[in-house]
Structure 1
Amino acid sequence: MSTFALVVELELKPGQKDAFLARARTHRETVLAQEAGCERFDLLTPEEAGDTVFLYEVYADQTALDAHFETPYMKQYLEDTGPMVASRVRRLCTLANG
């Protein structure tokens, strides 16, 4: 079984970063508390990109990742943050640590 990382790059609309991060932190806490298959969930803010945020999430397997997207709190998070986001790029990666 492979471990998957989901890397999401979000370009936020101007002035939305604080509100987005507050909502994303709450979502992160919920995911880590509710989903045994989520092994890591980090919010990253690059120094050089003011309105960009990265999410780095590690899931035990594809089943855990699929289940994550079906939770009611994930759907609510996307609804809540959608108006704050100018663009979103998701990359699914297989951990290759060896």
Structure 2
Amino acid sequence: MMFAICVTFRIASKQMEAFMPLMLENASASKKLEPGCHRFDVLTDADKPDQVFLYELYTDSAAFDAHCDSAHFNAFSAATADMVVDKEVTSWSMVAS
């Protein structure tokens, strides 16, 4: 069973240049260091220049919990706390077909 996480960040004015390298570093570390992380896409929309959308795919909710407890995630969260105006997180479980 797969477990998907969707995150929408709204980034403070003039903070995107500082935020994006940290976001990409976190995504890369997640894919390399976490065996339960199968996908970590970072997406933007030119019509929404203050937003970043993440699509993450994990083996299960425990793998996502491990991600949230990881050193790289906690470092990213601390480093970007003042850059993020709003963050919406939704989770989705795959339905067996």
Indicate whether the TM-score tops 0.5: yes
Residue 81 of structure 1 is matched in structure 2 by 80
Offset at 1:50? 1.1
Aligned AA (2:61) = Q
Unmatched tracts of structure 2, length 5 or more: none
Q: C-alpha distance in 2, partners of 1:32/1:12?
A: 23
* Identity %, equivalent residues: 30
Q: C-alpha distance in 2, partners of 1:47/1:58?
A: 24
Residue 40 of structure 1 is matched in structure 2 by 39
Aligned length: 97
Q: C-alpha distance in 2, partners of 1:16/1:29?
A: 20
The structure that is strand-richer by fraction is: 2
Give the SS at the match of 2:13: coil
TM-score, scaled relative to structure 1: 0.92
Offset at 1:97? 8.0
Give the SS at the match of 2:45: coil
Residue 89 of structure 2 is matched in structure 1 by 90
Name the Cα RMSD after superposition.
1.3
